Structure 1
Amino acid sequence: MGRLHTPVMRDRILELLTPALTEPGAVVVDCTLGMGGHALALLEACPRAHLIGIDRDPQALDLAGRRLADHADRITLVQAVYDEIGAVLDEQRIDGVQAILMDLGLSSLQIDRPDRGFAYRVDAPLDMRMGEQALTAATVLNTYSAKELARILRTYGEERFADRIARRIVNARETEPFTTSARLVALLHDAIPAASRRTGGHPAKRTFQALRIEVNAELEVLARAVPAAVGALAVGGRIAVLAYHSLEDRPVKRVLAAGSVSQAPRDLPVVPESMQPELRLLTRGAEVPGAEEIDSNPRAASAKLRAAERIREVAA
């Protein structure tokens, strides 16, 4: 199977989720299965639990299935986008689950396969699809207007030079459409002033992030997925979410924080049960990996982990 990735903050995630997975028949949903690193750790730590693994990428499901083969009787793998968690659980006739994990980072399968087009350090087709949808990065670059390109670069990549880059892309594609990453990387290097290239990482990093988010509708999916996942938890169930940049972390923080506070007016002398918090936060703010983990697994460097426990049922 080749070199396997190291699951980010594995031990802390086990510490947070395993208390909810001790009873026979407990269900844990890995919403972003990837190559199955976190899933394997959870199955080994929780021998009574059943795992439902969701991923939009059929290659990931195939590889994870082989990695988890020793636990085949305790896994159900489903090809779906993770905001479809409600439909997946309905299909499995499950009303509430005991644990949910979302790891929002790119999987090693996506990063390490040049043909997927996610990495800007190698020349590859401009694909960037996590699943099997029609839209690719090349389509975005070759068909979006300068205004649309600038918007996604600014919004999803937080790119200071979005307008300049967008204009150059539109001008360059009139000569030849964009098909591979090397030409785009060269354009980005020339478009970003030398002084700015010396700080903030690789000059292509922000543009590639923006294109990936646009191609996979990542933020729209996330905005639907976190409330759906919270709604899928049984009382006592726990959710843990790993985010890797502020655009991902903000909506996670917002949903978990909103669920952890009373909905009653401040001056209400007695808070009715229906207005009590439905969640208890398990992390104080966002937790980050330790220096030792970052040294051994540099991809963990930007990770932020938030977790919560459902403490009250909410009426449908």
Structure 2
Amino acid sequence: MSSPVLEIRNLCVDYGVGATAVRAVRDVDLTLHRGQVLGLAGESGSGKSTLAYGLTRLLPPPGVVTGGQVIYHPPAGVPVDVLAMTPAQLRRFRWAETAVVFQGAMNSLNPVHRISTQLLDVLKAHRPTSTAVGRRERAREVLRLVGIPADRLDAYPHQLSGGMRQRVMIAMALLLEPQLVIMDEPTTALDVVMQRQILGELAQLRQRLEFAVLFITHDLSLLVEFSDHIAIMYGGRVVEQAASDRLYQQALHPYTEGLLQSFPALRGPRRTLTGIPGSPPDLRAMPTGCAFHPRCPYALDVCRSRLPPLGRPADSHAGRTVACWLHPTAEPATGTRP
């Protein structure tokens, strides 16, 4: 396995402070390796976007990172904790080392400025010694990388289709050749054909430029095909991690199983889509024990009282972890499936 580019250790994020604070991300541990696509899946409200904004220190108030570390490993140099960076260090880190394609990226472009202005501003800020000719040529180059003709550089956002605006945002993220690209629901507003086209181009770019991707979505079917490794979040915690093919073939956590049963297979016999009953938990009043037990068809007595640890099951492959008493890692669960 390649060397790590980002290590998230025991990250905790709250909204608010004091007794009324809401814990949105709870002790998350993730490692992203160079050139890898790590998918992060879960229902709305599971903490995916909060995790992304927390690790890049882009959380708007009242969001607060209350614990943990985010260790970035540069290609050459000493690893550094992003949460301990000074404002000047953080400014250099963003876009140059880690870029973000935000949720709702089609509406992230400024409608009153040309595409060229918005791309060139990034280059001016991070490469002040570059020439105007060099900056414009780099902007043309990244547009061609994402399949947009260079003659559209001076267009306004409203003159581009939704898919082209999405590609412009991806091009902006790749301008400075970052080591890590965080994509937060980048294809949600696009039709299925455009999703497939953009993800195919992104996969080719990742192989050519060798950057890592943290791909966040609620659509697990996209991640199974596009990601190398998948982490499932529920109630602010990671409840399962595995290689994408192993996760698809055999989900261990009942929540992951429910997500996989929520979308139809493209091939094979027809099957009934079951989905997951109930709603995600209220983060202000989390259930005791396992947060998923009120919706779980396999809940045991221990699930209602004790939080399962995230760890590797004894009979599982390396790199796979799960937090479920049906697959105990530290101590056995009591009871049997109903």
TM-score interval, smaller chain: 0.3 to 0.5
> What TM-score do the two structures reach when normalised by structure 1?
0.32
**Structure richer in strand, relative to its length:** 2
**Structure richer in helix, relative to its length:** 1
